[in-house]
């Protein structure tokens, strides 16, 4: 088999706990939520746009705009992340857009995400090449990310997140901009990788097909707020 | 939760900004006001007296100097705002608008002095325009005895200021436009039968003007207090007050410093008066607009006015670039007797003769501009980084940026010179650099802050998720992604520094000469060919900076398509 690119190991994963989370904007309650997400499990938050589902991801990731009022605790295992800066949380985030860094090569994007603990230029490069290989992008290391197709970019973005050894995954409608055929494929890939890496995952989406494919619990929000 | 830290970081950065921009301005004003009343221990003035004010009042034609400058400044500002307002009202959102925008933008880079020379070479009695139509239309075989370009009514000076202030106000307006509901308001006004200009004035102008009010006041203060343009194009007998102050400051007689201080103090009063008159004009404008709205008149036939506005906008560009072309022709001209439209022969003799003497001031100009721009960029990045992206431009701290632009430079820079000399500091590269930094920083900060806020925050969130520290994200993500705007800001800073005349002259005390101080010094009675070379070099240096800045991303990111566009 190929060299393990470090994107599959299921070590050091723990349950992600959202305890009494409340997010308000200008006095209006957007979200009130308590949930535990086991390693490899996907929790789907469904809601229309503007319902505040992305602000939940921002809160868990540590980059919620100060205009929001948020309360509650976020824990990974027994460790409380609530007061910890975003760069100490090790949240793997996938947005609607792949957001590959345009100033780096495809491989450079992956190397950038590999933890500093992996020392040595050649070791880091080997790891990145293996990660690309895993998703059928062997030989793409030196390419300009802007020359990739939408599906290829999405796969690079996924591998980039996984090599960074996140403690949990935050998916912000990552499939909504892909066309139908590609969407199914990419979903499959993302969920299987998240599962095999044993990552607790939060998916926010307004597409019920996403929720079905995720196969986990689904929480719908923002419906009663319409009136 | 994140809120307290946000606020603290923001106010810390702004306190620093207030310190860096506010302290020199306040100290400079103090250094002007105290000697105006006789207090300047370094020159033996320790008694408060009104003698210097009286001496100032006794200067020949002082009132005329004051009024010409004041009127020229007010007319320039009113003219610039009318031209820009009519053009934006008539054309915002059309294709012609975008085209003229590309024509006008580069004008911002041309230093005031170079633009003034360009205009002077066009309109002088022996200038290009008259040569074109002589002797066929005019019958002139010798240059007529017209008081141009230094006409006593300062009309040429107003024109020279307009060609520079129109592009400035236009670009400021462009930055404010996206925040207005342009398309909806246009449709609504059109549906009600309003003409384009009247519809814009009724629906959008008040909101737009509120946003550009601070820059409008900056234009007013600048135009009322301008020195270099007034020396090149302004009236001579007597010159405007700021020019006379500059002459007094350069006088070898030590007593003249007190007179200059009194003049600089008076100039503050002139600027305050100009602002007061402008505020009255604003009120009148508002009342007129309200009457127009109330009357319900639609003013639908505004085609001629719109055409005129577009024409004047284009004419600004045409004048400057024709003038710059003319400067280059003059610099190569051999014998060029009057009615001939073009020189009889071209020669590089003037260049060969001038280049050796140009070398020192050229080097100083580049060194000053590079250092001032780099320092300003570093400080700007530090400030934006500290203030974070959340605060945004609503942040009142950014209004401080206009502080050095709202105080007449002749008043506070002269005061700074007085303080510096009193403190025993020698004029030199470092002190001139420091004062350039004060003037360059606002423009660099204004140039970079919009792209800084506009960068997709998700790039940094992703990087933070990888465990990168804030500083590492700054250097590995934000700054590389903002390479192009950073280089542009650097070029803006470079251009501003190159164009600075008065601060260089006063703080350098004549010991540090730049292309700009040399060019302006040549303006009275210098050889046209030599002036052509100096003004051309001064006018082209900023373009060179922008050109090099535009090459940076091409070279550094040859294989990254997204970074090159």
Please give the pLDDT value at position A6. Answer: 52
Nearest chain A residue to B457 by CA distance is A63
Cα–Cα distances in Å, from B149 out to B145, B166, B315, B333, B343? 11, 20, 18, 21, 21
* Minimal C-alpha gap between B181 and chain A (Å): 22
- Do B299 and B435 lie in a common domain? no
Residue from B4, B395, B467 to probe the interface with A (highest A Cβ count within 10 Å): B467
By the CB < 8 Å criterion, does B560 face chain A?
A: yes
CA geometry: angle B427, B429, B434, nearest 5 deg = 90
Q: Are residues B41 and B132 in the same domain?
A: no
Cβ within 8 Å of A, B 376-405: 390
Query: Which pair of structure tokens corresponds to residue B475?
Result: 């250097």
Q: Are A146 and B464 within 8 A, CB to CB?
A: no
Residues B343 and B483 both lie in one domain: no
Distance CA B306, CA B319 (A): 20
Q: Which residues of B touch A164 (CB under 8 A)?
A: 465-467
Residue B205 neighbours by CB distance under 10 Å: 20
Omega before B238 within 30 of 0, i.e. cis: yes
| Rounded-to-integer distance, Cα B490 and Cα B546, Å | 9
The residue ranking higher by pLDDT, A150 or A8, is A150
Q: Which of A83, A87, A170 sits opposite B469 (nearest CB)?
A: A87
Instruction: Give the pLDDT of residue B419.
Output: 87
Pick the more confident residue, B11 or A21: A21
pLDDT of amino acid B396: 59
In a domain, B147, yes or no: yes
Span A142-160, average pLDDT: 95
Express as a percent the part of chain B with pLDDT over 90.
50
H-helix or E-strand spanning residue B299 = none
Query: Residue B335: what pLDDT?
Result: 84
CB contact under 8 A, A115 and B480: no
Contact B426, B506 (CB under 8 A): no
3-state secondary structure of B19: helix
3-class SS of residue A160: helix
CA distance B58 to B127: 37
Whether B516 is covered by a domain: the verdict is: yes
Say yes or no for a CB contact (<8 Å) between B563 and A87.
Answer: no
- Residues B134 and B102 grouped into a single domain: yes
The mean pLDDT of A80-100, rounded to a whole number, is 93
pLDDT band at B4 (very low <50, low <70, confident <90, very high): very low
Q: Whats the size of chain A, residue-wise?
A: 227
Q: What are phi and psi of B346, to 5 degrees?
A: -110, 145
B463 CB neighbours in chain A (<8 A) are 87, 112
Edge-to-edge strands, sheet with A168-172: A91-94, A168-172, A201-205, A42-46, A218-220
Task: Give the residues across from A36 on adjacent strands.
Answer: A17
B56 lies in some domain: no
How many separate helices (H) and strands (E) can be counted in chain B?
A: 26, 2
Cα-Cα end-to-end distance for chain B: 39
Contact A103 B480 (CB under 8 A): yes
Mean pLDDT of A97-121: 95
B465: contact with A, CB 8 A cutoff: yes
Calculate the dihedral angle through the C-alpha atoms of B16, B19, B22, B25, rounding to the nearest 10 degrees. -130
- Average pLDDT value over all residues in chain B: 88
B418 belongs to a structural domain: yes
Cβ contacts of B67 within 8 Å, gap of 6 or more: none
CATH number at residue B385: 1.10.3720.10
Rounded mean pLDDT of B524-536? 87
How far apart CA B322 and CA A91 sit, in angstroms, is 59
Domain residues for the domain of B39 are: 1-49+352-565
Are the Cβ atoms of B465 and A102 closer than 8 angstroms? Answer: no
pLDDT for position A144: 95
User: What mean pLDDT is predicted for residues A91-101?
Assistant: 95
B226-255: pLDDT as tens digits: 999 999 999 988 999 999 999 998 888 877
Rounded to whole angstroms, what are the CA distances from A68 to A21, A23, A75, A220, B4? 13, 7, 20, 20, 13
Q: Out of A135-139, B73-77, B124-128, B522-526, which region has the weakest mean confidence (pLDDT)?
A: B522-526
**What's the CA dihedral at B60, B66, B67, B72 to 10 degrees?**
130
pLDDT per position as a tens digit, A212-227 = 888 889 998 875 544 3
Do the interacting molecules here have an ipTM over 0.90? yes
The domain boundary, picked from B294, B326, B347, lies at: B347
Of A166-170, B36-40, B426-430, give the range with the top mean pLDDT: A166-170
Q: Are residues B140 and B263 located together in one domain of the fold?
A: yes
Q: For residue range B142-163, what is the model confidence (pLDDT) as tens digits?
A: 888 787 788 889 999 999 999 9
Residue B55 lies in a domain: no
Q: How confident is the model at residue A111 (pLDDT cuts 50, 70, 90)?
A: very high
Letter string b/e over residues B54-63, b meaning 16 or more CB atoms within 10 A of that residue's CB: eebeebeebe
Q: Is the pLDDT of residue B519 over 70?
A: yes
Q: How many domains does chain B have?
A: 2
What crossing angle do the helices spanning B256-295 and B196-203 adopt, rounded to 10°? 110
User: B300 and B194 in contact (C-beta within 8 Å)?
Assistant: yes
pLDDT of residue A65: 87
**Final residue of a domain: which of B347, B366, B388?**
B347
* Dist CA B286 CA B214 (whole Å): 17
- Give me the mean pLDDT over the B409-429 stretch: 87
Residue B456 has what pLDDT? Answer: 93
Residue B344 has pLDDT above 90, yes or no: no
Give the single-character DSSP code of B428. S
Q: Give A163→chain B minimum CA distance, Å.
A: 9
Residue that has been written with the tokens 């960068």 in this structure: B455
Residue of A55, A26, A42, A48 lying closest to A193 (CA atoms): A42
Residue B552 in this model has a pLDDT that exceeds 50? yes
Are A144 and B559 within 8 A, CB to CB?
Answer: yes
What DSSP assignment string belongs to B226-289? --HHHHHHS--SSPPHHHHHHHHHT-S-TTHHHHHHHHHHHHHHHHHHHHHHHHHHHHHHHHHH
Q: Using one digit for the tens of pLDDT, what is the confidence trace for B100-109?
A: 888 888 888 8
Place of tokens 């650099």: B433
Which residues of B fall within a CB distance of 8 Å from A65? 390
User: Is B278:B217 a contact under the CB 8 Å cutoff?
Assistant: yes
Q: Which of B379 and B401 is assigned the larger pLDDT?
A: B379
Q: Does A88 touch chain B (CB under 8 A)?
A: yes
pLDDT of the residue at B3: 37
- Does residue A3 have a pLDDT over 50? no
More confident residue, B375 or B36: B375
Please indicate, yes or no, whether residues B75 and B45 belong to a single structural domain of this protein: no
Query: What pLDDT does residue A60 have?
Result: 95
| Residue B101, in any domain of the structure | yes
Chain A residues within 8 A of B468 when measuring between CB atoms = 87
Residues B477 and B366 occupy one common structural domain: yes
> What is the rounded CA–CA span in Å between residue B282 and residue B499?
31
B125, B261: one domain: yes
Question: How much is the pLDDT for A119?
Answer: 92
Pairing of strands A218-220, B39-40: unpaired
In this structure, the answer to whether residues B293 and B438 fall within a common structural domain is: no
Supply the pLDDT for residue A11.
53
Instruction: Name the nearest CA neighbour of B322 among B123, B146, B44.
Output: B123
Is the pLDDT at B208 greater than 60, yes or no?
yes
**Residues of chain B above pLDDT 70, percent:** 96
Mind listing the pLDDT tens digit for each residue in B482-513?
999 999 999 999 999 999 999 999 999 888 99
Q: What pLDDT digit, counting tens, does each position of B169-200 carry?
A: 998 898 888 888 888 888 898 889 898 899 99
pLDDT-derived band of residue A197, with 50, 70 and 90 as boundaries? very high
B476 to chain A: closest CA residue: A112
DSSP string covering B494-533? HHHHHH--HHHHHHHTTSS--HHHHHHHHTTT--HHHHHH
pLDDT classification of B7: cutoffs 50, 70, 90: very low
CA distance A89 to chain B (A): 7
Q: Are residues B89 and B220 in the same domain?
A: yes
Domains of chain A: 16-226 (3.40.50.300)
The reply to whether B418 and B453 lie within a common domain is yes
**In the predicted model, is pLDDT for residue B22 greater than 90?**
no
Rounded to two decimals, the pTM is 0.88
Of B1, B459, B562, the CB nearest to A146: B562
Which of B466, B479, B556 is most worth mutating to test chain A (most A CB atoms within 10 A of its CB)?
A: B466
Cis peptide leading into B149, omega within 30 of 0? yes
**Last residue in a domain, options B347, B362, B387:** B347
Question: Which residue from B112, B490, B540, B555 is spatially nearest to B358, judged by alpha carbons?
Answer: B540
Q: Is residue B54 part of a domain?
A: no
- Cβ–Cβ of A144/B477 closer than 8 Å? no
A16-66 tens-digit pLDDT: 999 999 999 888 888 899 999 999 999 999 988 777 888 999 999 999 988
Computed over its alpha carbons, how large is the radius of gyration of chain A?
A: 18
Which residues of chain B make contact with A92, given a CB cutoff of 8 A?
Answer: 465
How is residue B341 annotated by DSSP?
Answer: S
Instruction: Please state, in angstroms and rounded to a whole number, the distance separating the CA atoms of residues B505 and B89.
Output: 40
Q: Is B443 helix (H, G, I), strand (E, B) or coil?
A: helix
Cβ-Cβ contacts under 8 Å, A83 against chain B: 1
Cα four-point dihedral sign B129, B135, B139, B141: positive
Considering only the beta carbons, identify the residue of A61, A83, A101 that sits closest to B465: A61
Domain presence at residue B508: yes
The reply to whether B100 and B215 lie within a common domain is yes
Cα–Cα distance measured from residue B323 to residue B117, given in angstroms and rounded to the nearest whole number? 8
Least confident of A38-42, A94-98, B101-105, B274-278: B101-105
Q: What is the mean pLDDT of chain A?
A: 89
């Amino acid at each position: 088999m190929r060299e393990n690119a470090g994107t599959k190991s299921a070590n050091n994963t723990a349950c992600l706990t959202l305890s009494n989370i409340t997010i308000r904007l200008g006095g209006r309650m957007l979200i009130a939520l308590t949930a535990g997400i086991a390693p490899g499990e996907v929790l789907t938050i469904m809601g229309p746009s503007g319902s505040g589902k992305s602000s939940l991801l921002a809160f868990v990731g540590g980059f919620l705009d100060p205009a929001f009022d948020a309360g509650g605790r976020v824990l990974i295992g027994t460790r409380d992340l609530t007061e910890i800066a975003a760069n100490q949380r090790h949240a793997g985030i996938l947005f609607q857009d792949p957001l590959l860094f345009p100033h780096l090569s495809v491989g450079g994007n992956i190397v950038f995400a590999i933890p500093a603990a992996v020392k040595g230029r050649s070791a880091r490069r080997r790891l990145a090449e293996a990660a690309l290989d895993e998703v059928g992008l062997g030989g793409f290391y030196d390419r300009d990310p802007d020359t990739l197709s939408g599906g290829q970019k999405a796969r690079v973005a996924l591998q980039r997140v996984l090599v960074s050894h996140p403690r949990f995954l935050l998916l912000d409608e990552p499939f909504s901009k892909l066309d139908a055929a590609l969407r199914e494929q990419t979903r499959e890939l993302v969920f299987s990788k998240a599962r095999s890496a044993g990552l607790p995952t939060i998916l926010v989406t307004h597409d019920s097909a996403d929720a079905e494919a995720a196969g986990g619990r689904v929480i719908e929000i923002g419906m009663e707020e319409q009136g | 939760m994140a809120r307290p830290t946000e606020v603290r970081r923001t106010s810390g950065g702004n306190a620093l900004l207030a310190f860096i921009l506010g302290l020199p301005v306040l100290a400079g004003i103090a250094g002007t006001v105290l000697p105006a009343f006789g207090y300047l221990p370094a020159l033996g003035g320790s008694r408060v007296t009104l003698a210097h004010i009286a001496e100032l009042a006794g200067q020949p034609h002082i009132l005329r100097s004051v009024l010409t400058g004041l009127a020229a400044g007010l007319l320039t500002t009113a003219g610039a705002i009318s031209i820009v307002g009519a053009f934006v009202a008539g054309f915002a959102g059309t294709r012609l608008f975008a085209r003229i925008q590309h024509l006008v933008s580069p004008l911002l880079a041309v230093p005031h002095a170079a633009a003034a020379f360009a205009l002077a070479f066009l309109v002088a009695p022996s200038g290009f325009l008259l040569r074109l139509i002589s002797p066929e239309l005019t019958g002139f075989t010798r240059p007529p005895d017209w008081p141009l370009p230094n006409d006593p009514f300062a009309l040429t000076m107003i024109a020279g200021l307009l060609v520079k202030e129109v592009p400035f106000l236009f670009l400021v307006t462009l930055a404010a436009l996206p925040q207005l509901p342009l398309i909806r308001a246009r449709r609504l006004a059109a549906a009600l039968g309003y003409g384009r200009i009247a519809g814009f004035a009724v629906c959008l102008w008040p909101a737009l003007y509120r946003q550009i009010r601070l820059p409008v006041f900056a234009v007013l203060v600048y135009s009322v207090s301008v020195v270099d343009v007034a020396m090149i194009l302004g009236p001579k007998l007597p010159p405007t007050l700021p020019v006379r102050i500059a002459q007094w400051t350069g006088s070898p007689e030590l007593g003249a410093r007190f007179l200059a201080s009194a003049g600089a103090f008076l100039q503050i009063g002139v600027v305050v008066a100009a602002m007061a008159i402008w505020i009255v004009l604003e009120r009148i404008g508002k009342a007129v607009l309200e009457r127009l709205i109330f009357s319900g008149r639609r003013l639908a036939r505004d085609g001629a006015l719109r055409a005129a506005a577009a024409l004047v906008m284009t004419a600004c560009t045409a004048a400057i670039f024709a003038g710059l072309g003319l400067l280059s022709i003059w610099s190569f001209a051999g014998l060029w007797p009057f009615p001939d439209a073009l020189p009889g022969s071209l020669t590089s003799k003037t260049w060969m003769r001038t280049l050796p003497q140009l070398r020192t001031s050229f080097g100083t100009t580049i060194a000053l501009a590079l250092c001032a721009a780099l320092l300003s960029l570093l400080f700007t990045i530090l400030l934006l980084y500290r203030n974070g992206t959340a605060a945004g431009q609503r942040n009142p701290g950014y209004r401080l940026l206009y502080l050095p632009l709202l105080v007449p430079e002749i008043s506070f820079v002269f005061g700074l010179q007085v303080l510096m000399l009193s403190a025993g500091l020698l004029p030199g590269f470092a002190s001139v650099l420091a004062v350039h930094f004060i003037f360059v920083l606002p423009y660099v900060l204004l140039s970079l802050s919009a792209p800084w806020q506009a960068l997709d925050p998700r790039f940094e969130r992703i990087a933070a998720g990888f465990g990168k520290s804030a500083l590492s994200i700054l250097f590995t993500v934000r700054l590389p992604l903002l390479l192009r705007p950073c280089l542009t800001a650097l070029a803006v800073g470079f251009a501003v520094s190159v164009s600075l005349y008065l601060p260089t002259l006063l703080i350098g005390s004549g010991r540090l000469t730049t292309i700009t101080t040399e060019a302006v010094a040549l303006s009275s009675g210098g050889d046209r060919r030599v002036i052509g070379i100096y003004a051309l070099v001064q006018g082209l240096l900023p373009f060179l900076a922008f050109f090099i800045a535009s090459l940076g991303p091409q070279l550094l990111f040859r294989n990254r398509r997204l970074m090159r566009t």
